[in-house]
Amino acid sequence: MSESLRISPREEPSSPPPIPAVQTFELTRAYGNMTALDHLNLTVNRADLFGFIGSNGAGKTTTLRILATFLTPSSGHAEVFGRHVVREADTVRHLIGYMPDFFGVYKDMEVTEYLDFFGACYKIPSVQREKTVADVLELVGLSEKKGALIGALSRGMQQRLGLARVLIHDPQLLLLDEPASGLDPRARIEMMAILQELQRLGKTIIISSHILSELQSLCNRVAIIEKGRLIYSGPVQGVREQMSEARVMWVRATPEPRAVELLRQVPVIQSAESVEGRIKVTMADHDTDPGVIAETLVRGGIRLVELRDDEIGLEEVFLRVTKGETQ
């Protein structure tokens, strides 16, 4: 074979990336002279537990209602699993489960009657509905209340029933607008545990909430919106880093004065100062390995007691990045 002839190894065709669960393209919605959504570009990946954050009037509910096919955009468009929410609305409705912040219930109906009614609306065969109803009640922890009247249920149980209703047709995407609104602490914790289980089962969940401390531990990605405009979208840790000017570490070490002196001599450390029995260490940038702190102290004969990140909470991030403006 000629030396000039080269045969390249056969390349296997790569699989195309999966279609995101939700994409919006310059999504805009106006009510007269008021713009509720302003050219929103948002992507939610499959199996995300996605926190949608914003003040009242920021555009969260408008976005969810467009995705749920209840509103049409003024311009731009949105897709759910690649389906156009306006042109393919019927298909989209079978892919989603939408739970508004306030929803009506038939208080004189029994729990199973209520869910059976909605199962019939989704044309689930009668022979299959009984098992489907039992399955969703078990999932939301209401199996023992299947024969109870809805009017006799607590607020928390009615919220769980509302979640069971949106699960009755096994949707791939859940749109939950303030699902923990008005719940006591225990009911909120139980609701969040149910959402984590649904994510584990492969559901994609978009949840809007004002309880940011819970979203911080619950969601893997968040979006912050104000006056209809997207301010941030990405991992929870990413928004913290974006809002922090530098990485801060907290250190407990003895003897403390000598530890501060050593740390101030390290080029990649911007500052080190004693604060109420601890040492606040500010790194030169986010990419610096904090292990240099431990290495410096151990080599200097200092006893290291504690080394941890200064994690700003999602509530503080929200206050820093937004101005409190509404429509």
CATH code for the domain in which residue 276 is found: 3.30.70.100
Give residue 260's pLDDT: 94
d(CA 84, CA 91) in angstroms, rounded, equals 9
In a domain, 15, yes or no: no
Domain end among 241, 259, 288: 241
Give residue 4's pLDDT: 46
Q: Which tokens sit at 50?
A: 């996605």
183 with 105, same domain: the answer is: yes
SS3 for 149?
strand
User: What count of other Cβ atoms lies within 10 Å of the Cβ of residue 214?
Assistant: 19
**CB within 8 Å of 94: residues ≥ 6 apart:** 122, 169, 171
SS3 for 159?
helix
26 with 67, same domain: the answer is: yes
Give residue 125's pLDDT: 94
249 with 222, same domain: the answer is: no
- By residue range, what is the domain housing residue 285? 245-311
In a domain, 17, yes or no: no
154 with 263, same domain: the answer is: no
58 with 153, same domain: the answer is: yes
86 with 197, same domain: the answer is: yes
Opening angle at CA 174, ends 179 and 152, nearest 5: 40
> Could you tell me how many residues make up the chain?
327
154 with 219, same domain: the answer is: yes
Q: Which tokens sit at 122?
A: 């989704």
Domain end among 221, 241, 261: 241
**Strand segments (E) across the chain:** 22-31, 34-44, 49-53, 75-80, 83-84, 96-99, 173-177, 204-208, 221-226, 229-235, 248-254, 269-275, 278-283, 303-309
In a domain, 319, yes or no: no
Instruction: Write the Ramachandran bin of 39: left for phi over 0, alpha for psi from -120 to 50, otherwise beta.
Output: left
139 with 275, same domain: the answer is: no
In a domain, 316, yes or no: no
CATH code for the domain in which residue 46 is found: 3.40.50.300
264 with 297, same domain: the answer is: yes
The CA-atom distances, in angstroms, between 58 and each of 38, 162, 228 are 10, 24, 5
The structure's pTM equals 0.77
pLDDT digits (tens, 9 = 90+) for 261-314: 999 999 999 999 999 889 999 888 777 888 999 999 999 999 999 998 876 666
In a domain, 6, yes or no: no
Give residue 124's pLDDT: 94
Give residue 101's pLDDT: 83
Spell out, as residue ranges, where the chain has pLDDT lower than 50.
1-5, 7-8
Give residue 5's pLDDT: 46
117 with 232, same domain: the answer is: yes
The number of distinct structural domains making up the chain is 2
